[in-house]
Structure formats: C-alpha cells, structure tokens
Chain A
Amino acid sequence: DAGVTQSPTHLIKTRGQQVTLRCSPKSGHDTVSWYQQALGQGPQFIFQYYEEEERQRGNFPDRFSGHQFPNYSSELNVNALLLGDSALYLCASSWNSEQYFGPGTRLTVT
C-alpha cells in the first residue's frame, strides 16, 4: 500500500514567482492537510481539504491557496513568492483524526 506521495521533491524559485505542489493521499483517506515547516521548527498548519472544499485554514495569507480533486489528491499554490516562503512543505492525509505525512517538498526561494 503506497503511503502519501508528494511532488516534486525539491524546487528552486525566484522571488515573485508562483509555485504548485502536489500530493496524493494514502489509499482510503479522503482528507488532505498542508503544513509548512521552517528549519528547526515544528510544522505549521496551512489548511485542510475535505470533499473538495477548504474546511479549515491556519494563519497564512491569501497568497496560499489550494485545491482538492475528486480522487482526493490535492495541490498547494503559492503566489508572489517571498524569501520567507523557503521551507519544507508537508502534506498529510487522514480519514479520522490520525494524520499520515508524506516526504515533503523542499522549496527554496532565491
């Protein structure tokens, strides 16, 4: 059984650009959450998707947006990238309260 998968693994972007990150949930999971983890910090909750709707959002600006598809996979979009957006972006899937994480996408903004 494949776990949570994310693509790409690494990404380098320039300030002001836009980026799209992708996530496929674990089989049988219908809920996807996105987190941002800066170096040396714990993950910070960005938002959660369920039934193709954003169900909850953390303290992140509107530059961060997402989407969930009918097959439960999800995308995270970040517009107008800032240097401070450099981080490990984690996707987690769940069907109850237990969240299982993917390997993450390392985003570097230069």
Chain B
Amino acid sequence: EDQVTQSPEALRLQEGESSSLNCSYTVSGLRGLFWYRQDPGKGPEFLFTLYSAGEEKEKERLKATLTKKESFLHITAPKPEDSATYLCAALGGGGGADGLTFGKGTHLIIQP
C-alpha cells in the first residue's frame, strides 16, 4: 500500500526565516511526486510535479527537490502570505489510473 508521511505537522517561522518541509514516501513505481498549497476551506492549489530523483523545481520563494525516498519543499525568506497548509502527494503503480496518495500536510505559519 502506498504511503506518504509529512513532517513537521506544524511549523511557525518568523518572516524571512528559511526552512524546509519534508515528505517521505513509500510507493510502488513512483510516477510523480506533487506539491500543493491549501488555504483554509479551499481546494488545493497545484505547485510542482517532480518525476525522478535529482529533479528540482522553483517558483518564487519555493523550491522542491526529490530523492528516491523523500521530497523537500524549501522556503526561502518567507512572507506572511506564504502561510498555508502544504500537501505532498504521490502517484504510483501502473495501469494508467491516477489516484493520488496524500500526506496529512504541514501547517505553516509565517509571523511578521
């Protein structure tokens, strides 16, 4: 059974204080690792897709990286508007179907 574990569950940072969120996965035949941002009461917003170990993607203050066992979301000099829950999801297996397995998320708070 595919599993995704995110840590920490919650993280409080000062504005400008860089940090990293972790996503560990156990997936048979990884076909993609996805990061989403979710604001309270809203649907997840797509951020990145990573397909193979060593791949990196960047968007503004966020950078996602992937190894064979985990992915990291690095946040550089965050601002209060970066406060949200960050979700990691894995797509595994074959057969062409695309049901994502999600972690529980990391609740990030950036204090001014």
Question: Which A residues have a C-beta under 8 Å from some C-beta of B?
Answer: 4, 31, 33, 35, 40-45, 47-48, 55-56, 58, 88, 90, 94, 97-104, 106
User: 3 closest A-B pairs (Cβ-Cβ)?
Assistant: A56-B97, A42-B102, A101-B43
Q: CB within 8 Å of A: which residues of B?
A: 4, 31-32, 34, 36, 41-46, 49, 87, 89, 91, 95-105
Contact partners of B104 in chain A: CB under 8 A:
40-42
Partner of A48 from B87, B97, B101 at Cβ < 8 Å: B97
B43 partner residues in chain A, CB cutoff 8 A: 4, 90, 101-104
Chain A residue, CB-CB nearest to B6: A42
Q: Which residue of A lies closest to B98 (CB)?
A: A97
Q: Give Cα distance in the complex from A56 to B98, angstroms.
A: 8
Other-chain residue from B41, B42, B45, B87 in contact with A42 (beta carbon distance below 8 A): B87
* A98-B97 contact given A42-B87, A43-B102, CB 8 Å threshold: no
B41 lies within 8 A of A98 (CB): no
Are B100 and A99 neighbours in the complex by a CB distance under 8 Å?
yes
Query: In terms of DSSP, what is the predominant structure of the interface of chain A?
Result: strand
CB-CB under 8 A from A104, the residues of chain B are: 41-43
Residues of B within 8 A of A44 (CB): 102
Return the contact of B96 from the options A43, A55, A103 (Cβ within 8 A): A55
CB atoms of A55 and B97 under 8 A apart: yes
CA distance A99 to B98 in the complex (A): 9
B-chain residues with CB within 8 Å of residue A33 when the two chains form the complex:
98-100
Rounded to whole angstroms, the CA-CA distance of A35 and B100 in the bound complex is 9
13 extra interface residue pairs, beta carbon distance < 8 Å, beyond A97-B31, A101-B45: A33-B99, A33-B100, A42-B103, A43-B100, A48-B97, A48-B98, A55-B96, A55-B97, A56-B98, A98-B34, A99-B34, A101-B43, A103-B42
A88 CB to nearest chain B CB (Å):
8
Q: Which residue of B lies closest to A103 (CB)?
A: B43
Is there an interface contact between A101 and B32, defined as CB atoms closer than 8 Å? no
Nearest Cβ on chain A to B87's Cβ, whole angstroms: 6
